[in-house]
Structure 1
Amino acid sequence: MKLRTSRGLVAIALGTALVLSGCASGNDGGASPSPSESTGSGIPTPSAADVAAVEAITVTGDAGAEATLEFEPGLEVSAPTTRIVNEGTGEELVEGNQVTMHFVSYNGADAAKAGESTWATDSPQSFTLGDPQFDLLNPELIGQKVGTRMLLANPIEDADGVTTVINLVEVVSTKEIPTRAEGEAVTPADGLPVVTLDDSGKPSVEIPEGYTAPTELVVQPLIKGSGPEVTADSTITAHYAGYTLDGEQFEASWDSGTPASFPLTGVIQGWTQGLAGQTVGSQVLLVIPPALAYGSAEGHELQDETLVFVVDILDAS
C-alpha cells in the first residue's frame, strides 16, 4: 500500500513501536540478517542460537493481563524469531478475519520495558490476519485460537545500529468482516472517473477523456453503508485500489486478497479528510490533489501526482 510500507519496518505506534515486519535486506533499506536462508515468504530463518535465546525468556502473569518478561540484558537475534507461549482456547484465528491483540515491548539490550503496554493504555490494536504488512504474525497466528500468547523477537535497524525488540502479543478477539462494500447504491456526479466492479467486487477505473485534475479533494460515495460513522481518529479495515490520472493502477489490496487495517491518523490527508464522516459498508471514490497526497516529496514515485482511490470501508474501531 502506498500509504504505508508493506516491507521493511512496519509498526503499530505506542510509545516504542511494536514492530511487526522483518528487517529487509538489499534495497529495502533494512539490515542484512544472518543466516542468509529465508522462508518462502522472504523472511530470514532464525538460527539455533536465535531460537535458544527466545526460549530462555521467562514470561510471568496471567492470561488476560499484562505479562512480564525476564531475560538477561544483551539479548540479540539475527532474524525474526517467534515462540508460542500459551495456546488459546477461544475461536479459531482465520485468514481474512480481523484480529485484536494486546502487546508489551521490551528492549533486548537492557531488558527494560519499552514504553507503556496496550494493557496499561487500554488500547488494544487490530489488524487483518493475512495482511502482508504483518508478515511476521500471519504464519504463526493463522490456525491458533483467541487467547494465544506469542513472543516475537525482531532485530530492528535504526540510526544507532541494530537493536533487538521483544514483544509479547496476546490475541483477545477475532471477528469475520465483509469482503466488499454492502449498502445502497449512490449515483455519482457527472464527469467523475467511472468505477466498474468485477464479480469479486474489485474496482477498475476509467478516466474520462479531457478530465481536468481538481484542485480540491473530491469525495463521492458510490455505495452508502449502514454501519457506524468513521471518525478522523478511527482505525479502519478496507479494501482499496489506487490509480494515477492516466488510469494506471499503482496498488490494490484486492490483488493480495486481504483487506488492510490502518489508523486514519497515519495516512495521507486526502484519506483522512475524505473517509471521516463516511459509514462502515460504504464504497467511496476519492480524487486527491497532490497537496493532500504526497505533494512535492522529492524522489517519491507519486510526487506531484493527483491520485484516484476506490475504498471499501469494511470495519472501523
Structure 2
Amino acid sequence: MRTRPLAVLSFAALSVLVLAGCSASSTDAEATPTPTATDSSCLLDAQPGDDSDQITVAGEAPELDASVPEGLAFADIQRTVVTEGTGDDLYVGDLVSGAYQFFDGASGELLEDSTVTSPDDSGMVPMLLDASSYSVFVAALECEPLGSTAALTIPGSAFGDDGTSVVLVAQGVEKLPTVATGDDVAPTDGFPTVELADDGAPTVTLPEGEDPPSKTEIAQLKQGDGATVKEGDTVFVQYTGVKWSDGSVFDSSWDRGAPSAFPTTGVVQGFKQALEGQKVGSQVIAVIPPADGYGEGDINEDDLVGETLVFVVDILATQRAVSQ
C-alpha cells in the first residue's frame, strides 16, 4: 500500500499560500486562526485564478473526467467552481460522499481516482472537511453548495522544497450522518454501560468493583448495514476513549466537534480489531488491555502506558486503500 497523497498537506501550508495569494487581503499569515469545526465560517475560501480556470471537468460523481493542461504557473493556490450545486453550503467538520481526482501538476498524470477506492458499487467515497488531516478538501469544497464541482491548483512549495505541484478536482454529493445509524443491539453482560446524549455523544460508566479483562473484548451497540471495514481501510468515525483506572475521558472526537479519519493500520491493535469486520453504521464498544493498547507499565497521568482503555466508536464511513 502507498500513502494517500491527499493526507500529506497541512492546513498551515495551505493557509500561508492562500493568504499570500490574496492580494486584496492584509491578513498576516501568522495570525491564521487555529482550525476548528464550524458551521458558519470559511477558513481558506480560495479564489479562482488563471491556473484553476484552465482545468476542465466532464461528467459528475462518481465518474469525473478532468483534464489538466501543460504549462500552468502554479503561482498560488486557486479554486474554480466548475459547476455549482444546489445544496447547503459545506464547512469544516462536514462529512460528505462524493468523488475526486488527483493529478500531478507538471505532467497532468492522474495520481488517484476515488472510484478505485470506493467500498461499494456506488463508486462514491467519503470526504471529510478536516483542516488538520484533509485540508485539501477544506480548500476545495468549503463555503460552496453541496453538489458543486471544484478544481483546486496547489503549488509544489506547499509540500516542501522539492514538492510537486498538484491539482485536485472534487465534487461532494451527499452529507453523511455523523452518528451511527444502525439498529440498537441489546447490551452485552459485563461490559461498561453507555448512554447517548441527544447529539449522539456517549457517556461511559464502568462496572463497579470489577477487574478489567486480560484480552481485548468487543461488543456491538448498534448494527449497521453498510460496507464492511477491511484491513488498511481509512475509516471515518466518532469516538470516545475512557481510562478503566479512573473512568476519565482521555480523547474524544465529540469534544473536537467533528469526526476523525485514520487507516485501520494506524491505530493500536485493540482499536484495529474493533474496526475491521464491522459494517458502516455500526457502533461498537471495545475494552482494550495494555498489551493491545499502549503497552504494559506503571500507570501515570502523562501517558496511556499500563492503562486498560474503553472506546465507544461510531463507524460512519470507510474507504479502501490505494493499491500499489
Residue aligned with 1:70, SS: coil
Residue 310 of structure 1 is matched in structure 2 by 312
Partners of 2:90 and 2:144 within 8 A in 1? yes
State how far apart, in whole Å, the 2-side matches of 1:24 and 1:306 are.
Answer: 37
Matching residue of 1:99: 97
Partner Cα separation in structure 2 for residue 255 and residue 97 of structure 1: 17
The residue number in structure 2 matching 1:242 is 241
User: What is the aligned length?
Assistant: 282
**One-letter amino acid of the structure 1 residue matched with residue 55 of structure 2:** V
**Aligned-partner Cα distance in 2 for 1:131–1:267:** 20
- The residue matched to 2:271 in structure 1 has which SS? helix
Residue 3 of structure 2 aligns with which residue?
A: 13
The question of whether the paired residues in 2 share the 8 Å contact of 1:66 and 1:117 is answered with: no
Residue in structure 1 matched with residue 145 of structure 2 by the alignment: 144
**TM-score for both structures, normalised by structure 1:** 0.69
Aligned CA distance change for structure 1 residues 104 and 219 (closer, same or farther; 3 Å): same
2:197 is the counterpart of 1:198: yes
Gap change, CA 1:38 and 1:82, over 3 Å in 2: farther
Match of 1:271, SS state, is helix
Determine what percentage of the aligned residue pairs are the same residue: 28
**Cα distance in 2 between the residues matched to 1:173 and 1:227:** 18
Gaps in structure 2 of 5+ consecutive residues: 21-27, 37-42, 119-123, 297-301, 320-324
TM-superposed CA distance for 1:228, in Å, is 4.8
Higher relative contact order structure (alpha carbons within 8 Å, sequence separation ≥ 6): 2
Instruction: Supply the distance in 1 between the matched residues of 2:13 and 2:305 (Cα, whole angstroms).
Output: 24
* Matched residue, 1:293: 293
Query: CA–CA distance in 2 between the matches of 1:60 and 1:84?
Result: 10
Q: After the TM superposition, which residues 127-206 of structure 1 pair with which residues of structure 2 at under 5 Å, given as runs?
A: 127-129=127-129, 133-138=133-138, 140-153=141-154, 155-156=157-158, 161=161, 163=163, 165-171=165-171, 173-177=173-177, 179-190=179-190, 192-206=191-205
Alpha-carbon separation, structure 1, partners of 2:267 and 2:58: 36
Higher helix share: 2
CA distance in 2 between partners of 1:162 and 1:215 (Å) = 48
Alpha carbons of 1:143 and 1:59: their partners in 2 closer, same or farther (altered >3 Å)? Answer: closer
Q: Deviations over 1:223-254 (max 9, x none)?
A: 33344543335443322111222222122222
CA contact (8 A) 1:131 1:258 kept: no
Write the deviation string for residues 113-168 of structure 1: whole angstroms up to 9, x where unpaired. 5772216856564223467643453364343342412214264456xx46364332
Aligned position for 1:7: none
In structure 2, the residue matched to 1:83 is 79
Moved over 6 A (4+): none
In 2, distance between residues paired with 1:302 and 1:282? 26
Instruction: Please report how far the alpha carbon of residue 284 of structure 1 lies from its aligned counterpart in structure 2 after TM superposition.
Output: 0.8
Q: Report the secondary structure of 2:272's partner residue.
A: helix
Q: For 2:154, what is the secondary structure of its paired residue? A: strand
d(CA) in 1 for partners of 2:255 and 2:177? 18
Could you tell me which residue of structure 1 aligns to residue 24 of structure 2? none
Determine which of 6, 19, 36 is the counterpart of 2:29.
36
* TM-score, length of structure 2 as denominator length: 0.68
Residue identity matched to 2:80? I
The amino acid of 1:311's aligned partner reads: V
SS at match of 1:255: helix
Aligned residues of 2:130 and 2:138 also touching (Cα < 8 A): yes
Measured after TM superposition, the shift of residue 219 of structure 1 is 0.5
SS of structure 1 residue aligned to 2:65: coil
Residue correspondence of structure 1 range 202-281 to structure 2 within 5 A: 202-245=201-244, 246-281=246-281
Q: Following TM superposition, by how much is the alpha carbon of 1:216 offset from its aligned partner in structure 2, in angstroms?
A: 1.7
Change (3 A) 1:205 1:167: same
Query: What are the superposed Cα offsets for residues 35-88 of structure 1, whole Å, 9 maximum, x if unpaired?
Result: 534444459x99xxx979x64454245352132143357x565xxx34124133
Q: Is the 8 A contact 1:286 1:310 kept in 2?
A: yes
One-letter amino acid matched to 1:84: T
1:59 aligns with 2:48: no
Query: 1-side partners of 2:235 and 2:201: how far apart?
Result: 18
Letter of the structure 2 residue corresponding to residue 144 of structure 1: P
**Matched residues in 1 for 2:275 and 2:115: separation?**
30
CA distance in 2 between partners of 1:120 and 1:199 (Å): 35
RMSD between aligned residues: 4.0
Q: Give the superposition deviation at 1:309.
A: 0.6
Q: Give the stretch that moved more between structures: 215-224 or 84-93.
A: 84-93
Gaps of 5+ in 1: 1-11
- The amino acid that maps onto 1:103 is Q
Q: d(CA) in 2 for partners of 1:304 and 1:114? A: 48
CA distance in 2: counterparts of 1:121 and 1:129, whole angstroms: 21
